[in-house]
Structure 1
Amino acid sequence: MGVAQLTLLSVGATLGTGIFVVLGQAVPEAGPAVVVSFVLAGVTALFSALSYAELAGMIPGSGSSYSYAYATLGELVAWVCGWCLILEYGVSVAAVAVGWGQYVNELLELTLGVSLPESLSAPPGAGGVLNVPAALIVVLAMVVLLRGAKESAVANTVMVAVKIAALVLFCAVAFTAFRAGNFHPLFPLGAAGMSAGAASLFFSYIGFDAASTAGEEARDPQKDLPRAIILSLVLVTALYVLVAVAALGAMPWQRFAGTEATLSEVLVHAVGGGNLWPVLLSVGAVVATTSVVLTVQYGQIRILFAMARDGLVPPLFAKVHPRTGVPRAGTVIVSGFIAVLAALVPLGSLADATSIGTLFAFMLVNLAVVLLRRRDPGAPRSFRVPFSPVTPLLGVAFCGYMLCSLGADTWIAFGAWMAAGLVVYGLYGIRHSKLAHPQEDPA
Structure 2
Amino acid sequence: MAGRRRRLSTRHALAVVPGALLGVGALYVPDRVENLAGPATPVAFLVAVAGGLALSVGYATFLSGPLGDEGGSYRHFSRTWRSRALGFLLVWPKPAAYAAIVALLAQYLAAALSLPASDRLVALAVLGALLVAHLAGPAVVGRLGLVVSGGFTLFLVGLLLAGLVEVVPGNFDPLLPTPSLREQPVLSLGRATLVALFGFVGFEAVTGLTGAVRSPTETLPRALLSGVAAAGLLAAAMAFVTLGVIPWSRLMFAQAPFVDAAAAGLDVDVDVLLRPGIVGGALAALVAFSWAPTRALADLGEVVPPLAHTNRFGAPDVACVAVFGLAAALVFVDAVFVGLFLALPGLLVLYAAHGLTAAALPVVNPDLYDASAFRPSPRLLAIAGLSAAGIAGLMLWQALTLDPAVVLGYTRVGPAVAGTAGDRLVRGPMESAVPALVGWETLGLLVYVAARDYREEAGVELEPLTRF
TM-score by length of 2: 0.76
- What residue number does 1:397 align with? 390
Residue from 77, 80, 86 that aligns with 2:95: 86
Aligned to 1:439: 459
Shift of 1:234: 1.5
TM-superposed CA distance for 1:61, in Å, is 5.3
User: Is 2:240 aligned against 1:232?
Assistant: no
Change (3 A) 1:264 1:141: farther
Q: Which residue of 1 aligns with 2:422?
A: none
Deviation at 1:374, TM superposition (A): 0.3
- Does the 8 A contact of 1:21 with 1:99 survive in 2? no
**CA RMSD, Structure 1 to Structure 2 (Å):** 3.6
Q: How many Å separate the matches in 2 of 1:360 and 1:299? A: 16
- What are the superposed Cα offsets for residues 245-268 of structure 1, whole Å, 9 maximum, x if unpaired? 112222245665699855444445
Partner in structure 2 of residue 161 of structure 1: 150
- Verify the 8 A CA contact 2:241 2:261 in the aligned structure 1: no
- Residue 63 to residue 15, structure 1, CA distance change in 2 (3 Å): farther
Could you say which residue in structure 2 is the equivalent of 1:320?
Answer: 310
Residues 1:274 and 2:268 aligned together: yes
Query: Which of 4, 8, 23 does residue 15 from structure 2 map onto?
Result: 8
**Match 1:220 to one of 212, 215, 222:** 215
Judged with a 3 Å threshold, the aligned counterparts in structure 2 of structure 1 residues 196 and 15 are, in CA distance, closer, same or farther, namely same
Cα distance between partner residues in 2 of 1:82 and 1:48: 16
Distance 1:426 1:242, change over 3 A: same
Identify the residue that residue 67 of structure 1 maps to in structure 2. 75
Which residue is equivalent to 1:202?
197
The aligned runs of 1:286-297 (5 Å cut-off) are 286-297=279-290
CA positional deviation for 1:416: 1.5
> 1:423–1:408: structure 2 CA closer, same or farther, 3 Å change rule?
same
Report what 1:429 is aligned to: 448
Shift of 1:150: 0.5
| Contact 2:359–2:384, Cα closer than 8 Å, also in 1 | no
* Consecutive unaligned residues in structure 1, runs of 5 or more: 106-114, 122-130
How far did 1:209 drift? 1.9
Render the CA deviation track for 1:159-196: whole Å, top value 9, x for unaligned. 22211211111112222332344444547575666555
What secondary structure sits across from 2:211 in the alignment?
A: helix
| 3-state SS in 1 of match to 2:68 | coil
Q: Where does residue 148 of structure 1 map in the other structure?
A: 137
Q: Which amino acid aligns with 1:398?
A: I
Quick check: 1:64–1:209 contact (8 Å CA) kept in 2?
no
Q: Residue 236 of structure 2 corresponds to which residue in structure 1?
A: 241
From 348, 359, 362, the counterpart of 1:370: 359
Which of the numbers 402, 408, 412 marks the counterpart of 1:408? 402
Tell me the amino acid that sits aligned with residue 157 of structure 1.
L
- In structure 2, distance between residues paired with 1:168 and 1:340: 36
Letter in 2 for 1:247: T
Residues in 2 aligned to 1:286 and 1:307: alpha-carbon distance in whole angstroms: 33
> What residue is the counterpart of 1:125 in the other structure?
none
Separation in structure 1 between the aligned mates of residue 461 and residue 257 of structure 2, nearest angstrom: 49
In 2, Cα distance between equivalents of 1:179 and 1:433: 64
Distance in structure 2 (CA, Å) of the matches to 1:88 and 1:402:
16
TM superposition shift of 1:208: 2.8
The gaps in structure 2 that reach 5 residues or longer are 1-7, 405-428, 463-468
Cα contact 2:205–2:289 (8 A) shared by 1: yes
From 44, 48, 51, give the equivalent of 1:44. 51
TM-score (norm 1): 0.80
Moved more, 16-25 or 52-61: 16-25
Deviations 1:120-166 (A, max 9, x none): 66xxxxxxxxx665555433322322221101111111222211211
- Measured in 2, the distance between the counterparts of 1:178 and 1:171 equals 11
The answer on 1:306 being equivalent to 2:306 is: no
Counting matched residue pairs gives 415
How far does residue 68 in structure 1 lie from its aligned partner after superposition? 0.9
CA shift in 2, pair 1:368/1:260, >3 Å: farther
Q: Aligned-pair distance for 1:66?
A: 2.4
Q: Aligned to 1:433, what secondary structure does the other structure show?
A: helix
Map Cα deviations across residues 356-411 of structure 1 (whole Å, 9 max, x no partner). Answer: 43332122112112222102324311111352322212222222233334433344
Once residues 77 and 26 of structure 1 are traced to their aligned partners in structure 2, the CA distance between those partners, rounded to angstroms, is: 36
